[in-house]
Structure 1
């Protein structure tokens, strides 16, 4: 059985990617999933001013779990096995660590098409960087086209 890392963020686009993953399973792919959400790391200011730094960590974990929930519901309803993970930090490095930690065979993620100006300002997208650095194949799911 193939283990697939599926980064999600609670958006309609994430649900589109989750439905695509389920379509692959319905077509015969034997797979389990690792639903993952990567939270931004707390800022230095947030850490210094926090009465209890563990509260920041707990809040980030709970936010990540909430964002995973819609995709988790779809997989549960379909009877597809999955586990969840919430990470924090730079997205590409976090995803690379999770690929290794969970022994994933593939990543399935959405491509957020950046326009030419945003690409110029922000550099390569997370998906582009992950394709370049991932030790496993990365399958990009295009956003649904308006019909």
Structure 2
């Protein structure tokens, strides 16, 4: 069974890509194993002086779940099974690391989004992924 990784940032463009991906699932002989991945940016500076590690971890999880909400809703409505994950770090590096560790066959991304600094990151995350990833990338417009 094919394993597909869909990095999700909660942006409208990203959710549109999920909708289009759902329509493309007819291309496959069988529905692939789908993993949704949200990458949260780490806090800069020594936040742990003021906030305990468990609270920081919970904050990243809560924010990640908010970002994943619409994509999960779209897949649920289509009756498509998936797993979801929230990690913290550099978006492109974490996406490639996750895809490699989980032996994903393809990374599916939209043309915009993939980060909280929305306007900036079309080129940066997508092009970093293209350069870093040994795994094929499907860009859905």
Instruction: Give the TM-score, by structure 1 length.
Output: 0.82
Q: Distance in 2 between matches of 1:43 and 1:55?
A: 15
Q: Deviations over 1:18-52 (max 9, x none)?
A: 011101113445312111110001222322222x1
Instruction: Summarize deviations over 1:45-73 as a string: whole Å, max 9, x none.
Output: 322222x1210111101110121111011
SS of equivalent residue, structure 2 residue 103: coil
- Tell me how many residue pairs correspond in the alignment: 134
Consecutive unaligned residues of structure 2, counting only runs of 5 or more, are: 114-118
Unaligned segments of structure 1, at least 5 residues: 143-147
Check 1:18–1:57 CA distance in 2 against 1; reply closer, same or farther (3 A cut).
same
| Residue 130 in structure 1 maps to residue 121 in structure 2 | no
Aligned residue in 2 for 1:4: 4
Q: CA RMSD in A?
A: 2.0
Match status 1:91 vs 2:91? yes
Worse overlay, 21-30 or 102-111: 21-30
Q: Does the residue aligned with 1:5 lie in a helix, a strand or coil?
A: strand
State whether residues 32 and 80 of structure 1, in contact with CA within 8 Å, keep that contact through their aligned partners in structure 2: no
> Structure 1 residue runs of 4+, over 6 Å off?
none
